[in-house]
Each structure stands twice: as structure tokens, then as C-alpha cells.
A and B are shown apart, each in its own frame.
Chain A
């Protein structure tokens, strides 16, 4: 495995991006940071700027306006990086698949490493997904 990537995953800094979601997935992501689930025990911290982030969490159905911003953020992200799609909307656009404003799913726009399905996924599912991601890359949890 990529040594640089593995070194990052000791303490992945996470950037949270909503591309037009209903905010339910975002609430579940915030839940992960509360003391009850406490995702910081895996070293994960929310980063305020994309330039400090190692992992990009994407929620929402990628509408035409936010796709431009998503591409711009992905370009600004230091590489190597990982992308996590959270929720049905960012996986396949869910109920918005025929919407005039959501032409493509997230994984046709940028490469996605982990898919966490659910509408919204429980915090346990998000933690399980992220732990699987770290194990896949070869870091230790």
C-alpha cells in the first residue's frame, strides 16, 4: 500500500461537504463527533479547510451548481486523498435520479473509495465504513 497514504491514516483529517443534501446525513455526521460515538478516538478531526484534509466526506445528490464546487474542492485537496460517499443521494442520487438538476452520480464525477448507504446512515454505519476504509488502506485503527 501507498506509504504516504498509510501515514495519513493514523489521524485522518476529514472535510465535510454537502452537495445539496437534505441535511439528514450531515446531522448523522455531526452525531459521529459527539461524545456518544466519539469518532475522534480513531484520530478523525473535522478540518476547516480542504487544504488541511485527507478525507472528503460527500453527502447530497450532486446538483449542477454544486458539482462545479465539488470539482474545485477535489482539485485543491492535497493528494493522496480519499473520498467517502455518505447516504443514498451521493451514491446513486436516491429519489432525485430523474431530477433535471442531478445529471450524474458522485462516482462518475470523482473517484470514490467508500460507499456508505442509508437514508440517512446511522452513525454506527458511518464509523464502520470509515474503519473499513482505514483497514483497506492498511492503517491501524
Chain B
């Protein structure tokens, strides 16, 4: 099945029926934007359905550190419908871990590496979870985009000297 002949309502209804047990909440924000909160375990299955069966494009994933959880939003667009579907996953703050999407499609590889080093999310089954952006001397276990990040470098200068 491709995205030919699909409607926005049809796609959403199909997703809700097919993944009834996995979906926590559907938030229909605007005609172009839908947020679907999903449980972490079946995410790979749902992302694969969107990507391979519906023909959606994987835009990007974004990681967030909120008060209660660490969230990942996987953004998929169905271009024929002009619809952006964001799958929201809430992870435990202490040990955030989720199955990797990189074995399913290569585009998830680098963004998962980036979220792994900046937010400390573990991606199970990722083929190559090395550092991507941070320098080699960066200490292990310090995640700069966490809310509780604190300066670790004693040599850093944070005033303008005036």
C-alpha cells in the first residue's frame, strides 16, 4: 500500500485501529499537524508501518528533557496529504532507553547518536553508538542538554572581562 488515494482522516483512523493498544493519546493540533503519544515498546513497529507501508518521509527526531520525563518526538511527513505526524515517546528520566530505529532506516542513525550523547538516551540495537558532535575530552556521563547540566570544566571563562 502506498499513500496514493489516502485521506487525512483515513490515515489517522487506520493508525488508531491498527495500533489501538500502543497509542496513549492523539492530539490533533491543526490540519497539518498531529501528535500521537506512543508507548516505547511498540514504537519501532509503528515507525516502520508509517515509513514503509504508508510511504511517509522520516524528517527528524527531536529529544526533550521535561520535568517528568525525557521525551523523543519522531517527525514523519506524508507529503501527498501535507500532514506532519509526530510520534511522542515518554521515557524514564533515570535510565532513558528505547529500541533503535537505525536498523530500519539509515536516516535515524546520526540523530540517535546525537541524542545519545547530548541527552543520554540509550538506543538498544543501534549499529554504531559512538560520539558524533562532542569532543574526545568530554567526560563520560555528562549530558549538556539535560536540565540539570552543570559546568564541569574549571578552565571555562564565563565573563566578558569588563
Contact = CB atoms under 8 A, between A and B. Distances in A.
Interface of A: 64-65, 68, 92, 97-98, 100-101, 103-105, 108
A101 B134 CA distance: 8
B145 to A, nearest CB: 9
Contact of B155 (A68, A103, A105): A103
B31 interface: no
A97 B138 contact: no
B37 to A, nearest CB: 30
Interface in B78-117: none
Contacts of B151: 100
Given A64-B135, A68-B135, 16 more contacts: A65-B133, A65-B135, A92-B160, A97-B158, A97-B160, A98-B158, A100-B149, A101-B134, A101-B144, A103-B153, A103-B155, A103-B156, A103-B157, A104-B155, A104-B156, A108-B157
Nearest to A93: B160
B69 to A, nearest CB: 22
Nearest to B142: A100
Q: Is the interface of A mostly helix, strand, loop or mixed?
A: loop
B112 to A, nearest CB: 20
A103 to B, nearest CB: 4
A137 to B, nearest CB: 25
Nearest to B137: A64
A3 B149 CA distance: 51
Residue of A65, A100, A108 with most chain B CB atoms under a 10 A cut-off = A100
Contacts of A68: 135
A65 B161 CA distance: 24
B123 to A, nearest CB: 22
A7 to B, nearest CB: 34
A105 B157 CA distance: 8
Contacts of A100: 144, 149, 151
Contacts of A65: 133, 135
8 closest Cβ pairs, A-B complex: A103-B156, A100-B144, A64-B135, A92-B160, A65-B135, A103-B153, A104-B157, A98-B158
B129 to A, nearest CB: 19
A105 B149 CA distance: 21
Nearest to B135: A64
A104 B137 CA distance: 15
Nearest to A102: B156
Nearest to A64: B135
23 contacts: A64-B135, A64-B137, A64-B138, A65-B133, A65-B135, A68-B135, A92-B161, A97-B158, A97-B160, A98-B158, A100-B144, A100-B149, A100-B151, A101-B134, A101-B144, A103-B153, A103-B155, A103-B156, A103-B157, A104-B155, A104-B156, A104-B157, A108-B157
